[in-house]
Amino acid sequence: MGSVVLRVDNVSKTFVDGSVETQVLKGVSLTVARSEQLAIVGSSGSGKSTLLHIMGSLEQPSSGEVFLAGKSIATLTSQQQAQLRNQDMGFIYQFHHLLPEFTALENVAMPALIAGLSTKEAHAKAQALLMRVGLEHRLQHTPDKLSGGERQRVAIARALVNDPKVVLADEPTGNLDAKSGEAVYQLIRELAAQLGTAFVVVTHDAQLAARMDRQVMMQDGVLVNGAQA
């Protein structure tokens, strides 16, 4: 384990619908170290996906702060937060969200192009990552020509193309068979070790969670065990 790359400090979140207030997170604190693989588990509605979205600045907390590499996300403008998501964070979802009209290579290169790399540079980085995840023979295939496991490996490569400090994954194996899920898990472990990237994984998959470096459990908006690194 290395230095702390992500810190959640006393974060709460309340959703308001008319006169109804629902508190989804209640004073959550958490740290994630460089290259650590952290699993967040809990039943549906426990608040784990909301916590992941707040970590990724996709939602704002009602109170508390999130720090990435020591910098408070709340102090950044919306444009700076978007840049942070593009360059310092990667995102993986249960459903890969690949653009159907683009090849695997083009999908992976997209965040690098948005970050300002030339097409040549972006495609070179994308190709290197697709080789790393075992898809060098699929560079020019569109998502409909790929298996579920292959699409998820493309999504992982896309999440890593800008060398993020942390990758946030929401049910990354939830739509895969056991063999493909195992391949994704092995890939996460390998890339965390080789690249130093931290992975925070929200999952219902007890086997996946048990094999990560650390597990925390969300229950009714509270971390009930393993709250600190």
Boundaries of every domain in the chain? 35-60+82-225
Q: What DSSP element (H or E) covers 217?
A: strand 214-219
Q: Which CATH code fits 35-60+82-225?
A: 3.40.50.300
> Residues 33-67: pLDDT tens digits?
888 889 998 877 778 888 988 988 888 899 999 99
Q: Are 129 and 108 in contact (CB under 8 A)?
A: yes
Average pLDDT over residues 6-32: 89
101 closest CA partner among 136, 59, 137, 144: 144
Cα–Cα separations (whole angstroms), residue 207 to 31, 87, 199: 23, 31, 16
Lowest-confidence range among 11-15, 52-56, 188-192?
A: 188-192
Instruction: Supply the pTM of this predicted model.
Output: 0.82
- Kindly report the number of other CB atoms within 10 A of residue 184's CB atom: 22
pLDDT of the residue at 11: 93
> Residues 122-146: pLDDT tens digits?
999 899 889 887 888 989 999 999 9
Q: Categorize the per-residue pLDDT at 114 as very low, low, confident or very high, splitting at 50, 70 and 90.
A: confident
